[in-house]
Amino acid sequence: MYTLSFSFSCSLHLSHFQAMLRGGLWDMVIAMVLFGIWLPSCFSQTTSPSQDGKIKFRLAGYPRKHNEGRVEVFYNGEWGTICDDDFTLANAHVLCHHLGFVEALSWSHSAKYGPGTGKIWLDNVMCGGSENSIEKCVSRGWGNSDCTHQEDAGVVCKDERLPGFADSNIIESQVRLKGGAKTGEGRVEVLKESEWGTVCDDHWNLQSASVVCRELGFGTAKEALTGAQMGQGMGPIYMNEVQCRGDEKSLWDCPHKNITAKDCKHMEDASVICNIPYMGFEKSIRLTGGRTRLEGRVELLLSTGSGVRDWGLVCGDGWTSREAMVVCRQLGLGHASSGLRETWYWDSSNVTEMVLSGVKCKGDEMTLTDCQHHSVVSCKRAGAQFSAGVICSDTASDLVLNAPLVEQTVYIEDRPLHLLYCAAEENCLAKSAAQANWPYGHRRLLRFSSVIHNIGKADFRPRLGRHSWVWHECHRHYHSMDIFTYYDLLSLNGTKVADGHKASFCLEDTECHEGVSKQYECANFGEQGITVGCWDLYRHDIDCQWIDITDVKPGNYILQVIINPNFEVAESDFTNNAMRCYCKYDGNRVWLHKCHLGETGCCSLGPSDLPGSIKHLMGMK
């Protein structure tokens, strides 16, 4: 006789039902009857109204823009998050409406904007997209979740506000800090007509700096820096002779002069250091075995399964300079110079246990444990010699691509195959070129020039020394990096449609700002790199300065260029390493529009984000 005793709630997963179906005959029969009654009643319910009727929403997390972030919900007097289980774009649409935006562009899972705290208020949310409240969507109900904060959902809303919408939870900051080694410090940049620019340091003082810090949520300023001490910016300089009282809500509210070309140069960019509360983050991390305090094997103080806190190692698999950036920041040691995957030469500690693996940082996290990582340690290469290490530095390079130049120089060339043997040797052509009838025929190439500036505070140098460089006989020079730049052509939803060219270039100073001397030159096995204040020019007419679009059909695309894509060389800022343009290709001609810098990934770009002029050009309604 089969005796059953059940206590069910909506916290039971569908996976339990599937497991019963995989069991014996009696299990299957019971599952069909039981879940046929229970599942519809559980998942057809809508979220019950809040007890006090006051539900609020906000976007949180870091780094992010004002129209994206981790979704947080205020319910019954407490802020909490939403789990990403069953999350869809329709859910994101409803949440973006709550936040005052017209629609959602995309959504993110696995706590992309960092894990939240407190309650996980909603789970298994399923909206149709037209609901006027998240309460009308199907879910498990308030506070009923089996998720962790590593599953917090995020959204990216279209940066267009609903008419008449006002919400104090949405703070649209028009100022940001770039180039600083620590949180709350950097070069001041302000937003004007969708383009970021810098502030001239004439009359720059603590009162004006404090307005910037308060606008960013940091409180007062500790220092007001002049003379581009956090690196020189690019693009426009918007403000000069800023004279704040100190109580303004925004830097734009302060008296200032509009800039002219003769007034200021980027060598006069203003910077700030804000007062940051002491958090003691450095107490849970240390470096061991290094020659100086700026380098060593990374060790973390974490709680073990028994609840005892002890020191452990970080798995070196996949470790890059972005993870090293977070370690150096957490320790208060400035920028990262290198992220090391093997540290056998720093074996000076009795610590041997791996306590963290699969670490993947965006580079702006406050602590290493804020980065994505495995929930259970899994390291492919066992042994302390394969634990992660870092070398920190007071300064770092910062590469930026000149986006307008790409737009101005683009064109199509049908290049004969007999001129492409060197390019084929360096894998600069699409895979289909291998089946071409060499040397007859041609390849269609999307060509453009690019200029890469170093606006940081240290020279950009290859990770490998000269003894490891590769000689390319066809082009008669050494390549110091296997992959320096990716060139990709993507569909509007971010799918690659042309083989990304993995460009491995010779690095040198083509030109420099006035007063800066060239240091690096490729000829005669010279040292390679890009000096601070200099730039490397890749003309449209040199080999491999293209994307092979022979197999691409006419249509609307996104051109994407990413510098230092594998984070081989440390920089102070990786968010400006990617450039994207809208691209129209009609089979014979090509147009680029709206070339701009931004973080890697194209998911936030789509037809609804295009201005009317380019929609008309692309034949869209």
For the segment 243-285, what is each residue's pLDDT rounded down to a tens digit?
Answer: 999 888 889 999 998 876 567 888 899 999 999 888 889 999 9
User: Rounded to an integer, what distance in angstroms lies between the CA atom of residue 89 and that of residue 94?
Assistant: 9
pLDDT at 54 over 60: yes
User: Rounded to an integer, what distance in angstroms lies between the CA atom of residue 481 and that of residue 464?
Assistant: 8
Rounded to an integer, the average pLDDT of 73-81 is 89
pLDDT at 451 over 90: yes
- Which residues, 6 or more positions from 218, have their beta carbon under 8 angstroms from its beta carbon? 184, 274, 275, 276
The letter for the amino acid at 365 is E
The letter for the amino acid at 560 is Q
Candidate from 214-218, 457-461, 499-503 with smallest mean pLDDT: 499-503
- Cα dihedral 76, 48, 163, 173, rounded to 10, equals 40
Answer for the pair 369, 300: CB distance below 8 angstroms, yes or no: yes
Candidate from 25-29, 125-129, 400-404 with smallest mean pLDDT: 25-29
Rounded to an integer, the average pLDDT of 426-440 is 90
Task: Read off the pLDDT band of 501 (50, 70, 90).
Answer: low
- Cα dihedral 610, 611, 612, 613, rounded to 10, equals -110
Provide the β-strand partners of residue 393.
335
Rounded to an integer, the average pLDDT of 318-335 is 93
For the segment 80-90, what is each residue's pLDDT rounded down to a tens digit?
Answer: 999 999 999 99
pLDDT value of residue 323: 95
For the segment 528-569, what is each residue's pLDDT rounded down to a tens digit?
Answer: 899 999 999 989 988 888 999 999 999 999 999 999 888 888
Backbone φ and ψ of 614, nearest 5°: -75, -30
What is 424-449 written as a DSSP string? HHTT-S-GGGGGS-TTSSEEEEEE--
Alpha carbons within 13 angstroms on the beta-carbon side of residue 585 total 26
195-199 and 237-240 strand pairing: parallel
Task: Read off the pLDDT band of 196 (50, 70, 90).
Answer: confident
Peptide bond into 439 cis (omega under 30): yes
- Nearest residue to 597 (alpha-carbon basis) of 407, 404, 403: 403
User: Rounded to an integer, what distance in angstroms lies between the CA atom of residue 343 and that of residue 316?
Assistant: 9
Whose tokens are 């991390």? That residue is 285
For the segment 331-352, what is each residue's pLDDT rounded down to a tens digit?
Answer: 999 999 999 998 887 776 788 8
User: Rounded to an integer, what distance in angstroms lies between the CA atom of residue 126 and that of residue 140?
Assistant: 10
Whole-prediction pTM: 0.67
* Helix (H), strand (E), coil (C) string for 484-513: CEEEEEECCCCCEEEEEEEECCCCCCCEEC
User: What Rg do the C-alpha atoms of the chain give, in angstroms?
Assistant: 27
Rounded to an integer, the average pLDDT of 10-24 is 43
Candidate from 140-149, 254-263, 406-415, 496-505 with smallest mean pLDDT: 496-505
pLDDT value of residue 261: 56
- Across 2-6, 168-172, 236-240, 504-508, the highest mean pLDDT is recorded for 236-240
Answer for the pair 246, 207: CB distance below 8 angstroms, yes or no: yes
